Structure 1
Amino acid sequence: MRRLAVPLLLAAVLCGCSTTEPGSPSAGQRAVDAPATGSSTGSAPVARPKAVDMKALDPCTLYTAEVKSALGVRLVTERPALADYGQGSRTCSNNYEDATYSSSIYTLVNGGVDRLRQTVGEAELTPARVAGYPAYVDGRDVSGIGPACDVYLDANDGQLLLVNAVGGFGEDKSTVDGACAQAKKLAEAVGAVLATK
């Protein structure tokens, strides 16, 4: 799953493709004062600020003016969906004022945490809590591309929000730790917005 995202991100960033298609409306409103619970595995409930249907989410709407300003986001572009992430998944990429890293947000609608553990491998994932959501971090050096880091938010039962950062586009100062720091900052910012959807 993750191995495909980085090469496609690189291709999209390098070709500079963009679209002006409007986003789809976000999921219905629900009170956010109590954590939403659900079960990604069918066993214990999952504590989330809010369970959000990834099939109804336009990830580009998570880049609010506040998020852009706080993180120095320069350009946000909707990208073609990745078939590996399920029918109805969506992708949105961004560039920063500081060009060391670029990022993308993906909606994964064809499996949750259990599928993630099988496809990426549990040993590769570091559990975390990001913007109140259970999360999993996977940082690595991708041959031919450079440092990369994926942060997966357990956004809904059987669905994930993937936030990544990729470096190495001619920038010698990019590192795996730096990519993870960038991905986590973006995940915290957009995760807070996600909880309001």
Structure 2
Amino acid sequence: MLRLAVPFVLAAVLTGCSSQEAGTPSAGNQTGAAPTTGTSAGTAPVNRPKAVDLKTVDPCSLITSEARTALGLSSVQPGTPLPEYGEGSKRCNESYADHKYIANIHTLLNGGVDRLKQTTGEAKLTSVQIAGYPAYLTKTESPGTAGACEVYVDAHDGQLLLVTGIAGMGESTATVDGACERAKALAEAVGTVLATK
């Protein structure tokens, strides 16, 4: 009798393990989406003419003598980098011969486009192309001036080249739109040189 009972109990246990109620997935037959991986849209490769590590770039070196003349720049000189742009960041200050605007170029080493969208707000950014690079433009307030225009060039993963045009500086005819024209033209000139680095 014991010999008959063991196979019967074993068969009952096996049947119980393999049966399932309708609508309840078993461990061996789960339905649902495949697991996500690190290749999301946020980490997709960026289409750039050339990815350039900005840690090794002097922003003043991106302004050629031809660009300086064409843009009407009266001075181009290194400036004091801002600590909030990351260790090793560099700055270049530019002034224009007409004295209506000034500009500066910063290397941002502590975060790329994702950080920019979080800190500035995606709704405030306008997508533009600068010398073949994806870039973002935003207008900001600048105390003592008519305002400023910032162009962020996506030069490398986790890094941005920031070109800022500042309007006013005691000149009442300067406008934020004028600052944007200057900033975009300067960004285009330096972006072209950046792609050759």
Is the TM-score greater than 0.5? Answer: yes
**Matching residue's letter, 2:82:** L
Name the structure 2 match of 1:79.
Answer: 79
Would you say the 8 A contact 2:142–2:166 is kept in 1?
Answer: no
Pair 1:165-2:165 in alignment? yes
User: In the TM superposition, what is the alpha-carbon distance from 1:69 to its structure 2 partner?
Assistant: 1.2
Match of residue 131 from structure 1:
131
CA distance in 2, matches of 1:149, 1:143: 13
Contact 1:147 1:174 in 2 (8 A): no
Cα distance in structure 1, aligned partners of 2:88 and 2:156: 15
After superposition, the C-alpha distances for 1:33-73 in whole angstroms (9 at most, x for unaligned) are xxxxxx9x752110001111110000010111111011011
> Greater relative contact order (Cα 8 A, min sep 6): structure 1 or 2?
1
CA contact (8 A) 2:145 2:170 kept: no
Q: Is the 8 A contact 1:103 1:164 kept in 2?
A: yes
1:58 alignment partner in structure 2 = 58
Q: TM-score, normalised by structure 1?
A: 0.77
Unaligned runs of 5+ in 1: 1-38
Q: Percent same amino acid among aligned pairs?
A: 56
Give the superposition deviation at 1:144.
3.3
* Distance across 2 between alignment mates of 1:194 and 1:62: 6
TM-score (norm 2): 0.77
* Counterpart in the other structure of 1:70: 70
Q: Which amino acid is the alignment partner of residue 87 of structure 1?
A: E
Secondary structure, aligned partner of 2:98: coil
- How far apart, in 2, do the equivalents of 1:106 and 1:42 lie? 24
Paired amino acid for 1:182: R
Q: Deviations over 1:90-136 (max 9, x none)?
A: 00011111111110000000000001011111111101111100000
**1:146 partner amino acid:** A
Partners of 1:42 and 1:56 in 2: CA distance: 26
CA distance in 2, matches of 1:159, 1:51: 10
Task: Count residues in correspondence.
Answer: 158
In structure 2, the residue matched to 1:175 is 175
1:26 is matched with: none
Residue in 2 aligned with 1:28? none
Runs of 4+ in 1 over 4 A off after TM superposition: none
Contact 2:105–2:164 at 8 Å: present in 1 too?
yes
Q: Which amino acid aligns with 1:155?
A: A
- Measured in 2, the distance between the counterparts of 1:66 and 1:139 equals 28
